Amino acid sequence: MSQAETPSRILYTKPSITPLEVGYATDAAANGWGERCYDYINRFERDFAQHIGASHAIATSSCTGAMHMALAALEIGAGDEVILADTNWIATVAPIVHVGATPVFVDILADSWCLDPVQVEAAITPRTRAIVATHIYGNLCELDALAALAEQHGLILIEDAAEAIGSVYHGRRAGSVGRFGVFSFHGTKTLTTGEGGMFVTNDAELYERVLTLSNHGRQRGETRQFWPACIGFKYKMSNIQAAIGCGQLERIEELTKRKREVFLHYQTALQTHSEISMNPEPAGTANGYWMPTVVFDAASGVTRERLQDIFKRHNIDARVFFSPLSSMPPFSRQAENRIAYEIPTRAINLPSYHDLTPDQIERVVACLLSALD
């Protein structure tokens, strides 16, 4: 294919920003200082908590920071074990390591690519303190089963909902079911602030502890200026970022609806190909479809490398399925997590930004199907 014939590049994702967000950010930049320096932060936290169905929310500089503070507030640390799926981004396990706890990686379910409750139960020991349920690519964990295990063994259920804005589990939004939930607003996410995150909980006591830690250890109500009660963190979101978040949150139904439309277009185009599976949506749930993903049957012979090569030749971004955390240098290989090791070798994430056109989606579909030739 000549340079002149090369089609325009299709990105795997980009944010949807309108004059609404630009206007709020401009106001924050021009006027959000002094006594108004927290106006958009307070508004974003209040409105986000209401949207998710949680009592409390704290805006943070990242989802990783939100997780780090919450684990520290719960005094999870050295000698403790935290169970999580081997299929995860490093951001989920890093805070566990930062507080000195030991991550325990278990295998995933073949259909949802989320934590396998049977494997979780087998991994519980007297040292286990928590279970992290990561809703990967918008797919929902089996929260009822995991909550039952947590209650039975006196454990803390944590929801990593970084990728699950728009996902709903039997009437409850992702992130509102566990002891606490964390979200990401990275530039790739359905709702973005550029960088940023959110901690949510219905536990008032935990909220106060995380709130104190989030402000360098200064307690709410402390009358002495610059007086910390403990060593805390500095994971605050800026007022300008929160202003963008306020605009995005006002558009959240539009944003999540468009994500579903993009996914359903892919699903319709691929539904006759039984060798390809995509993100599931079990009865009683709604998938936010942050990242439409295809997994080819092993018998198809299609590999990740083949898909990457085809996408590159057609000027389409190809984002690979997460490799198992235990396969990476900081950890010990756990090949017994068979599904977590196998699926990434024959899977790929698909472009899914909000203004992706039908013609662009058809280009992506054509690339996928050419891998079967």
Residues of the chain falling short of pLDDT 70: 1-5
Q: Distances from the Cα of 258 to the Cαs of 166, 202, 263, in angstroms?
A: 11, 29, 9
Amino acid at 168: V
Cβ atoms < 10 Å from Cβ of 230: 12
For 124, 170, 200, 203, 317, the CA distances from 74, given in Å and listed in that order, are: 19, 28, 14, 12, 40
Backbone angles phi, psi at 68, to 5 degrees: -60, -50
Lookup: tokens for 148? 């039952």
How many C-beta neighbours within 10 Å does residue 261 have? 12
DSSP-based three-state secondary structure for 41: helix
Place of tokens 């989802």: 63
Tokens of 223: 């009358």
pLDDT tens for residues 53-75?
Answer: 999 999 999 999 999 999 999 99
H or E stretch covering 104: strand 102-106
DSSP letter for each residue of 258-313: HHHHHHHHHHHHHTT-TTEEE----TTEE---SS-EEEE-GGG---HHHHHHHHHH
User: DSSP string covering 65-84, please?
Assistant: HHHHHHHHHTT--TT-EEEE
CA dihedral of 313, 299, 87, 347, whole degrees rounded to 10: 20
Residue 5 has what pLDDT?
66
Provide the pLDDT for residue 160: 98
Q: How far is CA 232 from CA 45, 70, 92, in A?
A: 20, 11, 20
CA atoms within 13 A on the CB side of 180: 28
Provide the whole-model pTM. 0.96
Of 162, 158, 205, the closest CA to residue 178 belongs to 158
Beta bridge partners, 236, equal 60
Cβ neighbors of 308 (< 8 A, separation 6 or more) are 318, 320, 348
Reduce the DSSP state of residue 124 to 3 states and report it: coil
Q: Are 248 and 240 in contact (CB under 8 A)?
A: no
The token pair at 146 is 């995991």
- What domains sit in the chain, N to C, each tagged with a CATH number? 3-11+252-370 (3.90.1150.10), 19-250 (3.40.640.10)
The residue count of the chain comes to 373
Helix locations, the chain, DSSP H: 19-31, 39-52, 63-73, 90-98, 117-123, 143-153, 204-214, 239-250, 252-270, 304-313, 338-342, 358-370
